[in-house]
Amino acid sequence: MTKQEAAAALRHYAVLLELLGEDPFRARAFENAARMLEMQPESLDVLIAENRLSAIRGIGKGVAAAICDLNSRGTFAELEEARQGVPSGVIELLRVEGLGPKKARALWKDAKVTSLAALENAIEAGLIERLSGFGAKTAQKFRTGLAFLKSTSGRHWRHHAARAAEALQESLKDMAGIREVFFGGSLRRGNETVGDLHVLIVADTGQTDTVRAGILALSCVSWSETGSGLRGESASAFPIELSVVTLDEAGARKILATGSEEHVRALKEVAASKGFSLDPQESGNVLRTESEEQVYAALGLAYVPPPLREGNNSVFAVGSRAFPDAVRLEQIRGILHCHTTASDGHHALRELAAAMIERGYEYLGVADHSQSAAYAHGLTPERVRAQWCEIDELNKELAPFRILKGTEVDILPDGRLDFDDELLAGFDFVAASIHSGFNMSEEDATARLCRALENPQVDILGHPTGRLLLERNGYPVNHRRLIDCAARHGKAIEMNCSPHRLDLDWHFLASAESRHVPVPLCPDAHHIEGLWDIRWGVEVAAKGPLTAANCPSTWSADEFLEWCASHA
DNA sequence: GCCGTTTTCGGCCCGACTGTTTTCAGTCG
């Protein structure tokens, strides 16, 4: 078991304790222990082998024993007991925004609400607002929260989809008769969230039936029904739609499996007008080709990169338009916006730098939280200056690698910043973000963000809407005005690459590009693995597309600093 | 449950915001 998995189990236990109404400080002790465990540089195996768990602050005898049990048998006695005591639907209730453990427990105990469906019924029946401690506004808030959950139902975070795809690929790698394992759908198109994994298995000639039988026999996927294709669920409960296809139909089938619906519909119309059919399962003059490129060419159309296949307006005749190249992962030279143990990160500066040097990156832009973010142990001006000294020392040691002195300074409710201009001037770069006071009108939120961008010390606007994909929408922002403002003041807007955010929304990348508003790909990393979240940003940014030239992450440190100085 | 101590109990990250109350509890970042 990894540290992260053990920490997740400890957190889950803490939630169960709260739902069971047990001592909240006991619950917090497990949460705290989970956080401290994650921050250890060593692996769980090493910590256990060297008997060092209880030496970690926040982990005593009891939690250490629980962690050892987790590592050896995947659970611990108290966790199992707590699980028995809480209906699984009650845990689901916590997904509703504004509904925490105390209210979930009250709903469960006082109103017998033990599922999201039961909550919806209770709201509509007017039962919620009659409960002690609840009122009409709370009921309305839950109604809104439930509607949001419904709107995202069946969608999954991109990184979970990629993980499920990699696991399936791995389980198929030694199967005979397979020429290619192809993943289409939103995963291939670079969307922020993914519904099903759309998989095509291109079989060698004459091997279709054998391959299909082999896939049905896979132990890592449970196939629920079999028609012309297969429908199943991965070990991680990810929904899969899979078809085994022959080489001569692969080109068209890949296009159909990739989508989007609108793009495919537009292609089908062009095909029909030329007397062709795209779908091998339909009658007519079916286009039989091995590659997608051949299909577009046969229709007299320019090949459309998968991320651009949204809507029906990306279909062009050959030569009538060229699609710009999107930034590629290997073009990224530096990573901006990372947190260290100085605020709420899990690794020290030196560890982050070492991980980046190992992967061949040139610079790291640290951006810890500012003082008003107390929950995240935000830095005071004194602690900022101490960090600068640490960076100076590290830079001498690690050259030519460079650590840039940055901050993710809070944008206060009125648009002022959480540090004074004199301190801000001492940073190499300043990213400014909103972390509190989300309840704003679009007008207020846009004005607050613009005021921050107008400050000459600010270089980059962080996660512009504060959204958490599949969890909350964030505050409403007028992106057009925001991009105008950034363009006027020569500022950048980050695409936050955390797979939970991917904010700036890709729909606005083209507008940023045309207004020459740079868009750095920022992982907002809180641990070493989080640094590589830039991958998700690269994949989604291809939908703009965001070009390398307009992405400061592809610039050298000197080019980036020169740009920062240009508007100070 | 963990920690620290004027050791075996008392306090635990912290402030803003919101809604239900009418002084405070719950949620969130």
pLDDT in tens, A90-142: 999 999 988 999 999 999 999 999 999 999 999 999 999 888 889 999 999 99
User: What are the φ and ψ backbone dihedral angles of A184, each rounded to 5 degrees?
Assistant: -105, -140
* List of residues 6+ apart from A381 with CB closer than 8 A: A371, A419, A423
What's the CA gap between A328 and A307, in Å, rounded?
A: 13
> Would residue A527 be called left, alpha or beta, if left means φ above 0 and alpha means ψ between -120 and 50 degrees?
beta
pLDDT bin (cut points 50, 70, 90) of residue A68 is very high
Cα three-residue angle A487-A491-A495, rounded to 5 degrees: 100
**pLDDT tens string A398-431:** 999 999 999 999 998 888 999 999 999 999 999 9
Q: Does residue A101 approach strand B to less than 7 Å at its CB?
A: yes
Half-sphere exposure of A122 (CA within 13 A, CB side): 25
User: How many Å apart are A48 CA and B11 C1'?
Assistant: 30
Q: Would the pLDDT of A568 be above 70?
A: no
What pLDDT is recorded for position A38? 85
Lowest-confidence pick of A35-44, A46-55, A268-277, A333-342: A35-44
Q: Work out the average pLDDT over A71-93.
A: 93
Q: Would the pLDDT of A472 be above 90?
A: no
Q: Give the CA distances from residue A236 to residues A90, A420, A434, in Å, rounded to whole numbers and listed in that order.
A: 21, 48, 34
3-state secondary structure A117-134: HHHHHHHHCCCHHHCCCC
Helix and strand counts by DSSP (H, E) for chain A: 24, 15
Q: Give the CA distances from residue A401 to residues A195, A358, A564, in Å, rounded to whole numbers and listed in that order.
A: 40, 11, 19
The count of other CB atoms within 10 Å of the CB of residue A369 is 24
What pLDDT is recorded for position A19? 92
* Helix, strand, or coil (residue A407): strand
Q: Give the CA distances from residue A62 to residues A3, A68, A141, in Å, rounded to whole numbers and listed in that order.
A: 17, 10, 39
Q: Does residue A130 approach strand B to less than 7 Å at its CB?
A: no
Q: Work out the average pLDDT over A56-74.
A: 92
Find the residue closest to B25 using CA and C1' atoms: A133
Q: Would the pLDDT of A225 be above 80?
A: no
Which nucleotide is nearest, taking the CA of residue A138 and each C1'? B19
Q: Does residue A137 approach strand B to less than 7 Å at its CB?
A: yes
The count of other CB atoms within 10 Å of the CB of residue A210 is 16
Average pLDDT score, chain A: 92
Find the residue closest to B2 using CA and C1' atoms: A58
Q: For chain A, give the percent of residues with pLDDT over 90.
A: 75
What pLDDT is recorded for position A42? 85
User: A24 versus A357: which is more confidently predicted?
Assistant: A357
Q: Would the pLDDT of A215 be above 70?
A: yes
What's the CA gap between A502 and A509, in Å, rounded?
A: 12
pLDDT bin (cut points 50, 70, 90) of residue A436 is confident
What pLDDT is recorded for position A367? 95
H or E segment to which residue A246 belongs: strand A239-246
User: How many Å apart are A129 CA and B22 C1'?
Assistant: 19
């000639």: which residue's tokens? A205
Q: Would the pLDDT of A257 be above 80?
A: yes
